[in-house]
Amino acid sequence: MAARDGNGWVQCRCGSRHWGLFGAAGLLLHRPGPAQGEVLMQLRAPWVHQGGTWAAPGGAADSHEDAVTAALREAEEEAGVSPARVEVLGLLTSVDHGDWAYHVVLARSGAHDLAVAGNCESEEMRWVALESVARLPLHPAFAASWPTVRSTLVRLLAAQA
């Protein structure tokens, strides 16, 4: 298996550079809670790109991975989330620049007590009420996609109920 061959920068036609030679993926994991429940958010360590901001855990996909595989691996590495306790509901391409794309894997966990623990790329992992996410200092790309991501998640959860 090719190990971590996706780590690297892409100089994108949009004029920016993005992390992940084969694109990147994140896991937006929902669990039951008051109101609309909670999602798992990561405060990115100060030394990573756009550090000090909040986003769903995620990172660069490797050449042999699809978005779901990459997102689940990153969430396990960064947050200790066991893939066996995650039910994938859907997939959303939140950024597509042609040269680079970011995919959000929408998922749920029934486990109220799901343990999370960050690695060195995480300053903190926290379950955040869905309605409070927008009040965090978000990663700019995550913030831009959040209204669409949130409404898609709510629709998928309602379809499961």
Contact residues toward Zn ion (CB under 5 A) are 12, 14, 97
With respect to Zn ion, which residue has the nearer C-beta, 85 or 97?
97
DSSP 3-state of 160: helix
In angstroms, give the least distance from the CB of 15 to Zn ion.
7
Q: Which residues in the chain belong to E strands, given as ranges? A: 9-11, 17-19, 24-31, 38-44, 54-55, 58-60, 87-96, 101-108, 122-129
With respect to Zn ion, which residue has the nearer C-beta, 92 or 114?
92
**Cα–Cα–Cα angle for 142, 60, 27, rounded to 5 degrees:** 50
In angstroms, give the least distance from the CB of 9 to Zn ion.
11
- Rg over alpha carbons for the chain, rounded to the nearest Å, is 15
In angstroms, give the least distance from the CB of 24 to Zn ion.
11
β-bridge mates for residue 29, sequence order: 107
With respect to Zn ion, which residue has the nearer C-beta, 101 or 130?
101
In angstroms, give the least distance from the CB of 22 to Zn ion.
14
DSSP 3-state of 140: helix
With respect to Zn ion, which residue has the nearer C-beta, 19 or 107?
19
